Chain A
Amino acid sequence: MTAVTETQQDRLVIEAPRTRKKRPSQSGRGTNFEMYAWIFMRMSGLLLVFLVLGHLSIMLLLDGGVQRINFGFVAGRWASPFWRTWDLMQLWLAQLHGTNGLRVIINDYAERDGTRFWLKMLLYTSSFLVLVLGTLVIFTFDPDLAG
């Protein structure tokens, strides 16, 4: 009962910024998940600035841009462990960064508990599949498929 009333009050009252709470974590399971998520967004974001802007520069701006990309171009790049590592880091950091971003957005705008839950399940499922698929593609790439 008390929990329900508190939740309802949280929705109505806008607290003053930096109000001290007994329990900073929303989940209240003794973890500080939201703080680690906050830190992760900044650390991954900083790395992604270099990884993604580098990726876009190479793929779309330099040396003919998108017009020169084909299977052979990918094979040439992924022959090097450097670019495979680059792409793998980029995939994981970007996907997790984006998943957490969308999690926050869902929490902000989906008001019904059921809607929030299922939207997040959809998000986590698709993220998991994207990560597995992307990782497999990078690790199992076969240039000889060209025959």
Chain B
Amino acid sequence: MQAPAGTLYRGREGMWSWVAHRVTGVLIFFFLFAHVLDTALVRVSPDSYNRIMDTYKTPLVNLMEVGLVGAVLFHALNGIRVMLIDFWAKGTRYQKQMTYVVVAVLLLVMVPATYRMTAHTFAALFGSTT
């Protein structure tokens, strides 16, 4: 029997949103592991918990939180897209358009969210008047 040779990786919107879904999913999984451990410090002592929370407030980790929110938001929006492809009769027909909706909503939310999340860091670093 002649096997259909080649690959299922087709590129374009469908494949890349699938790749991004996997990558963001793995990132979120590893953050969750760290997050359960850091939260568990509330059972050790208030001081040890407060010290780990202080690292969350530093500029570098603050920037990583923006990345985390972006990753979670993409994963959530693309997850909704996946469910629409699965359960909505016209889902597969509009999967490409839905990818652009996902990216548009992501950017639309992330611009003000990034501003809000980093305002304190910028004020602390550069002494902004806001």
Contacts and interface: CB of A to CB of B under 8 A. Distances in A.
B40 A98 contact: no
A65 B120 contact: yes
Interface in A27-56: 42, 45-46, 48-49, 52-53, 56
Interface in B30-45: 32-33, 36-37, 39-40, 42-43, 45
Given A52-B72, A94-B32, A130-B36, A14 B3 contact: yes
A109 to B, nearest CB: 10
Contacts of B65: 60, 66
Given A45-B83, A69-B56, A137-B40, A14 B4 contact: yes
Interface of A (DSSP majority class): helix
A66 B36 contact: no
Interface residues of A, number: 42
A101 B53 contact: no
A72 to B, nearest CB: 8
A99 to B, nearest CB: 8
B46 A146 contact: yes
Given A105-B26, A145-B45, A70 B113 contact: no
Given A48-B76, A98-B28, A14 B40 contact: no
Given A42-B83, A71-B42, A71-B46, 9 more contacts: A14-B4, A45-B79, A65-B120, A66-B53, A69-B53, A71-B49, A101-B25, A101-B26, A102-B26
Interface of B: 1, 3-4, 6, 8, 22, 25-26, 28-29, 32-33, 36-37, 39-40, 42-43, 45-46, 49-50, 53, 56-57, 62, 65, 68-69, 72-73, 76, 79-80, 82-83, 86, 113, 116-117, 120
19 contacts: A13-B3, A14-B8, A42-B83, A45-B79, A46-B83, A49-B79, A56-B72, A60-B65, A60-B117, A61-B116, A66-B57, A66-B62, A66-B117, A71-B50, A94-B28, A95-B36, A101-B26, A105-B26, A130-B33
